[in-house]
Structure 1
Amino acid sequence: MNKLSTFGLATLFAATAVTSSFAQTLDKISIVVFGAPSLGAFLPPIIKAQKLDEKNGLAITFDERTPDAYTAQFNSGEYQVGGSAALLTVGLADLRGVKVTYLFNLFDFWGAVVTSRPEIKTLKDLEGKDLAAAKGTTNWVMFDWFARQQGVDTSKIAVVNTATPGLVGYALADRASGVQLWEPAYTSLMAKKPSMRSLDLKIKESWQKFTGTDDIPYLGVAAHTDWAEKNKPLIPKLYAAYKEAADWIVAHPEEAAKLIAPKGTPDDQKAISDLVKANDRLGLNVRWASSSKREIKAVYEAGRSIGFLPDYPSNATIYEGAKQ
């Protein structure tokens, strides 16, 4: 073997060793999230495409599940970290003896009810009618609360329960009097069927009256308490990966839309980029749970007021290990 070949092999072996060493230094985290279209599936493709997990010393695997499967697998401990962690489901898990903690917020609350039926003009008109919804989600519970603030008897609404990916299909096919959904499904739907009408939930008005603030922390990343205690050094890295993904989306909305909706049409992708630019319905707001204690407790109070939460969740559900 000549000297050049020997040098080439040595260089190859050295590069392989460095790559192997780098891979070994990455801490692995498996995170369960809702399947697309959902807020929980909004940031993961950015994190992976931009390698923001690796940049922060992590190797994150995102596994998509339906809402019901997500709740079952996260609460059972099959997954120790959840990236579609809605506050009310975190609070309910705590009250059922599952020790979990809300690490940081990703999105503030926004939801909608859409309809094609001319006779449905207000939420009250849904009484005695059917409404397609993902009933296993916190977005549904929050809708229930907002509807009751308008005097709607939600027990008189026949709920057609479906997984989040099915909501857009129900609306497009006009298979129910209304459909309760949120972003990014709402934007996807309106891009396909702009004739759909959105009923007024009076979100800001009702929440301001109830809490004195417009701030509604809603969905973020949660973990089992014992995992959080054992992996404290990883949590700021996880937060950084998500925060950098959020910042990247804001700075590159058109590029982000192609990653978030890779199979979407140009119109679909433009709708996503417009959603990011406005951020009024998206509610992208990454912050530590510990910086929003008052607002989180207000969400718990809303859940308790309609009987979703039988009591107040413990303070341990609000992670205190890091602050902004």
Structure 2
Amino acid sequence: MSKLQSARFSTVRFPARLAAAGLAAAMCVTAPASAFAQGLEKLSIVVFGAPSLGAFLPPIIKAQKLDEKQGLSITFDERTPDAYTAQFNSGEYQLGGSAALLTVGLADLRGVKVTYLFNLFDFWGAVVTSRPDVQTLKDLEGKELAAAKGTTNYVMFDWLARQHGVDTSKIAVVNTATPGLVGYALADRAAAVQLWEPGYTSLRAKKPSIRTLDLKIQESWKKFSGTSDIPYLGVAAHTAWAEKNRHLVPKLYAAYKEAAAYIAANPDEAVKLIAPKANADDQKALADLIRANDRLGLNVRWAAQSAKEINAVYEAGKSIGFLPGTPSAATIHDGGGK
């Protein structure tokens, strides 16, 4: 072979050898990643769509891959509140990430065996108004109140109002879906609006002049229960699933717990994931909400660690006829100790 032929041979074959080596290297890199993905436990969790408390943590879990860190691959499926309840209670979804505590208790009393795994947010709610003739909760009697009547937040408002001597049967409730509450308040279409976070912060950013009636939440709750925390919304599962998959429950808890820690430590970055389409002012308001945490109530803890408080919430629901009895002890998951 001539020197020229030898040079041409080297020029042609050397890149080919490089390509082969590169392909082999790529196979070495991608094969373990594929194997890792195949080894993840797949979970499907139904949640409320944004804006809602149930939509706060899922985007953080996925963006930071906190589920994969725990050996899980979680799919979060967003639904309206009515669809959420129907699909979770029917067992179509074994896990619910927008599980309001009183709704869990009611499902149990209706024969749906479910358990509250862990808490995510404590209760906070508000009544707002622009009307000069509504200065106290008592002033709502004989007037229209826009509210999402089927929600646990409204039920807790009903309980609180009665603690102040309000006859809630005299309030004409205009029932609307959760996303419509801010619109009602902005348009002043009812004497007052009952809502909670993150809708409240969004409303105040758009209409700073709106007034908030004092519900005296902590004062009333402390007097009734002797406790300060009000477990409100968390993650629930069908009892059979929880018993069969006890090894997965701590992993699920750890993913949510780390997401909550990330939000608390990085509020400005977190809101860009939670509300990516919100404008700068709304994102700043959400970041401030996270920093204060007084209204957001982010408080991730095992249900078993709040058994006393959960039973107090059940008693509040019973006292106004929302719960027809006492939910079973099995609705409070025993994971995580006490």
Query: Does TM, normalized by the shorter one, top 0.5?
Result: yes
Q: How does 1:130-279 map to 2 (within 5 A)?
A: 130-279=144-293
Q: Deviations over 1:212-258 (max 9, x none)?
A: 11111111000000111111111111101100010001100111122
Provide Cα deviations, 1:111-130, integer angstroms capped at 9, x if missing partner: 00111111111111111111
Q: How does 1:1-324 map to 2 (within 5 A)?
A: 2-323=16-337
Matching residue's letter, 1:143: F
Whole-angstrom distance in 1 between the partners of 2:197 and 2:104: 20
Letter in 2 for 1:159: V
Check the 8 A contact 1:35/1:165 in 2, yes or no: no
Contact in 1 for aligned 2:305/2:336 (Cα 8 Å): no
1:16 positional shift: 2.5
CA distance in 1, matches of 2:17, 2:51: 56
Once residues 239 and 150 of structure 1 are traced to their aligned partners in structure 2, the CA distance between those partners, rounded to angstroms, is 37
SS in 1 for 2:37: helix
Greater alpha carbon shift after TM alignment, 55-64 vs 245-254: 55-64
Residue 29 (structure 1) shift: 1.0
In structure 1, the residue matched to 2:10 is none
Between 122-131 and 10-19, the greater mean CA deviation after superposition? 10-19
Deviates more, 1:138-147 or 1:170-179: 170-179
Amino acid of the structure 2 residue aligned with 1:243: K
Q: How many residues align?
A: 324
- 8 Å CA contact 1:191–1:271 kept in 2: the answer is yes
Q: Are 1:100 and 1:224, in contact at CA under 8 Å, matched by a contact in 2? A: yes
Which residue does 2:7 correspond to in 1?
Answer: none
Q: Give me the whole-angstrom Cα distance separating, in 2, the residues matched to 1:163 and 1:57.
A: 36
Q: Deviations over 1:163-213 (max 9, x none)?
A: 211111111111111111111110111011111111111101111110111
- SS of 2:121's partner is strand
Which letter does structure 2 place at the counterpart of 1:250? A
Amino acid paired to 1:25: G
| Secondary structure of the corresponding residue to residue 28 of structure 1 | strand
Q: Counterpart amino acid of 1:55?
A: K
Query: Mean alpha-carbon deviation: is it higher for 124-133 or for 99-108?
Result: 124-133
Which whole-Å deviations, capped at 9, do the CAs of 1:15-71 have from their partners, x for residues lacking one? 222121111111111111111111111111111111111111111111111211111
Q: Distance in 1 between matches of 2:170 and 2:89?
A: 30
TM-score by length of 2: 0.94
Amino acid of the residue matched to residue 237 of structure 2? A
Q: Which moved more, 1:164-173 or 1:241-250?
A: 164-173
Contact 2:302 2:335 in 1 (8 A): no
Query: What is the CA deviation profile of residues 133-176 of structure 1, one whole-angstrom value per residue up to 9, with x for unaligned ones?
Result: 11121101000000111111111111121221111111111111
Give CA deviations for 1:241-281 in whole Å, capped at 9, x if unaligned: 10001000110011112211211111111111111111111
Question: What is the identity, as a one-letter code, of the residue corresponding to 2:127?
Answer: V
TM-score by length of 1: 0.98
Distance 2:109 2:210 in 1: 39
- Decide which structure has the larger Cα Rg and report it: 2
Q: 1 CA distance for matches of 2:283 and 2:323?
A: 38
Structure 2 residue matching 1:107: 3-state secondary structure: strand
Mapped partners of 1:195, 1:302: distance in 2: 33
Between 1:60-69 and 1:192-201, the stretch displaced more is 60-69
SS in 2 for 1:263: coil
User: Tell me, which stretches of 5 or more residues in structure 1 are unaligned?
Assistant: none
Residue range with higher mean Cα deviation, 125-134 or 96-105:
125-134
CA distance in 2, matches of 1:26, 1:114: 46
Aligned amino acid, residue 173 of structure 1 = A
